[in-house]
Structure 1
C-alpha cells in the first residue's frame, strides 16, 4: 500500500463491507480460525478479507494472529462511529418522517439518546403504554394532537386531572368532538375541575407532549391513523424546541371556553 496516497472511494466501500471483521479485531488480536467462528464465515471468505485488509495496511500478522495497525485502529474508530450514527438515524426514522419543514426547526441531535417506542415489535400498544408511564410521573401536562399519541388518553389522564394534574391540550376540532361524544360524563367532570384547558387547531403536524422532565413526539400511521411511534427525550434542547412549538400553536388556536359540544360548535363557528 502506498502510504502517501489518500484512500479512494473504493477503499471506503470495501472497509464498510468488512466492518464486522474490523470491529472484531478492534477488541483484540485473533487468528483466522477465531475470526471464522466469531463472524460465522467460511475459510475462503476469512482468507480473502484478511488478505485485503493486510494489503491496505489495516492489519498485520504476528505469531499467527491478526492485529490492527495504527492506521487500522484509526479506521476502526471511524467505522464504529459511522455504524453508531447509522443505527441512531435508522432508529429515529419515524421522527424524520414528520419533522421536515416544521418551524422552529427540530434539533435532531437532541433526540440522539431518545427512547423510541414503536408499534412494530409485536406490541401495537407500546407507544400508548410509554405515554401512560410518563403521565404517571408528571405533575403538569401540555400536549397537542392527542390522537397521534394516545387515542384513549381521556381514560388515561381523567383521574390525574381530577387530582390536580394541570393540563393544557390543543386538539383538532373533529377529535375534540369525538372525545366529547364518547366521554360526555368525564368531559363534564373535567370541565368542573378547572384543571383542563383545551384549545382547537385545524392543522397539527404530529403529537407533541411536554411532561415535567421529558418531552415526546407521537407519530400516527398515515393510513390507519393509529399511533405508530412515540419518541421522548429529556435534553434541554429538545424541551426548548417543544415549548416554543407548543406556544406557537397555542397562540394560534381557538379558545374553548367550556368542554362540551355546544362550546365546541361555538368555537368552530367563531373561528370560521
Structure 2
C-alpha cells in the first residue's frame, strides 16, 4: 500500500494563517514579547499561535525563546518562496491580462525578473518615461501599437530616428492617421530620413517594443485607452517570443510606402 505523503489539509491552512509568525522566526529566535512587538499582536494571540505551531512540530521553546524546528525551518523556506512567487504574480497582473489567449503563448516565467512600471505608482507618465529611457540606449527599435506604450512617441523618438535609429513600427490605421494629422512636419522629416518603416494592422493585442537589449510589453487601460503599465525584461526566452510575435504581425500588416495622408489612404483603401 502506498503511503499518502500529502500534508494534512489542516496543516496547510495553519501554515498560511501563521505565515507572518513563521516568517519572523525564520529570521531569528524570539521571545514572546518580541513576537508581540514585531507582529503587533496581543499576548493571547501570540500564545495561541505559538501553541498551535508547537503542537504541529514547527516551533519549540528553548531558554525562553521560540525557534523553528528542522521541520519548521523547511516549511518556512517554502512559505518564503510562495510569498515571493505571489509578489511576482501580482506585479505581472497587467501582463497576464494582455497576453491571455495569445498565440504564440507568452512565456510568463521569463518575465519573473521584469521591471514593471505602472501609471498608478504616483506618476501617470511612468510607463512613457521608462520607454523613453530605454530608447536612449538602443540603436534599433521595433514596436507595434505604440499608443499602448507611448502616445506621444513621435516626439520622443523623432530626433533619434533622424540620427539613424533603425525603426520598424506597426500601427493601427486610426493611430497612423492621428500621427500624420498631429505631426505633419515630423512625418515628412521621418519619411525623408528613410530610417522609419511603418506598416498597418487592424488588430494589435497590446504594445510591443523590441530594443537591442530588452523587450517590453505596453498595456492600455481598457476604458481610457491610456498606457496602464510597461513591463520590460532582458530574458532571452521573452525576447524570442517577442520577435516571433512581431514578425508574425509584420508579415500580415499592410505596407505604408510613404508616411503621409495620401499613402495612408492608399494603404487602407487600395485603388482609391
Same structural fold, with TM-score higher than 0.5 when normalized by the shorter chain: yes
Equivalent in the alignment of 2:234: 234
- Shifted more, 12-21 versus 250-259: the winner is 12-21
Please provide the CA RMSD for this pair: 1.3
Matched, 1:178 2:178: yes
Equivalent in the alignment of 2:124: 124
User: What is the SS of the residue equivalent to 2:30?
Assistant: coil
**Runs (4+) of structure 1 moved beyond 3 Å?**
none
Once the two structures are TM-superposed, the CA of residue 270 in structure 1 deviates from its matched residue by 2.2
Once the two structures are TM-superposed, the CA of residue 17 in structure 1 deviates from its matched residue by 1.2
Once the two structures are TM-superposed, the CA of residue 28 in structure 1 deviates from its matched residue by 1.4
TM-score (norm 2): 0.97
| Residue 210 to residue 6, structure 1, CA distance change in 2 (3 Å) | closer
Once the two structures are TM-superposed, the CA of residue 5 in structure 1 deviates from its matched residue by 8.1
Equivalent in the alignment of 1:31: 31
Once the two structures are TM-superposed, the CA of residue 61 in structure 1 deviates from its matched residue by 0.6
Quick check: 1:95–1:219 contact (8 Å CA) kept in 2? yes
Once the two structures are TM-superposed, the CA of residue 103 in structure 1 deviates from its matched residue by 0.9
Quick check: 1:254–1:271 contact (8 Å CA) kept in 2? no
Deviation string 1:88-143 (CA, Å, 9 cap, x unpaired) is 00010000001011111100011000000001111100000000000011110000
Equivalent in the alignment of 1:9: 9
Matched, 1:217 2:217: yes
**Ranges in structure 1 where 5+ consecutive residues have no aligned partner:** none
Equivalent in the alignment of 1:188: 188
Once the two structures are TM-superposed, the CA of residue 8 in structure 1 deviates from its matched residue by 1.4
Deviation string 1:141-198 (CA, Å, 9 cap, x unpaired) is 0000000000000000000000000000000000000000000000000000000000
CA distance, structure 2, for counterparts of residue 72 and residue 79 of structure 1: 10
| Residue 58 to residue 271, structure 1, CA distance change in 2 (3 Å) | farther
Once the two structures are TM-superposed, the CA of residue 271 in structure 1 deviates from its matched residue by 9.4
Equivalent in the alignment of 2:79: 79
Matched, 1:54 2:54: yes
| Total equivalences in the alignment | 269
CA distance, structure 1, for counterparts of residue 150 and residue 17 of structure 2: 42
User: What is the SS of the residue equivalent to 1:197?
Assistant: strand
Quick check: 1:200–1:255 contact (8 Å CA) kept in 2? yes
User: What is the SS of the residue equivalent to 1:270?
Assistant: coil
CA distance, structure 1, for counterparts of residue 155 and residue 112 of structure 2: 31
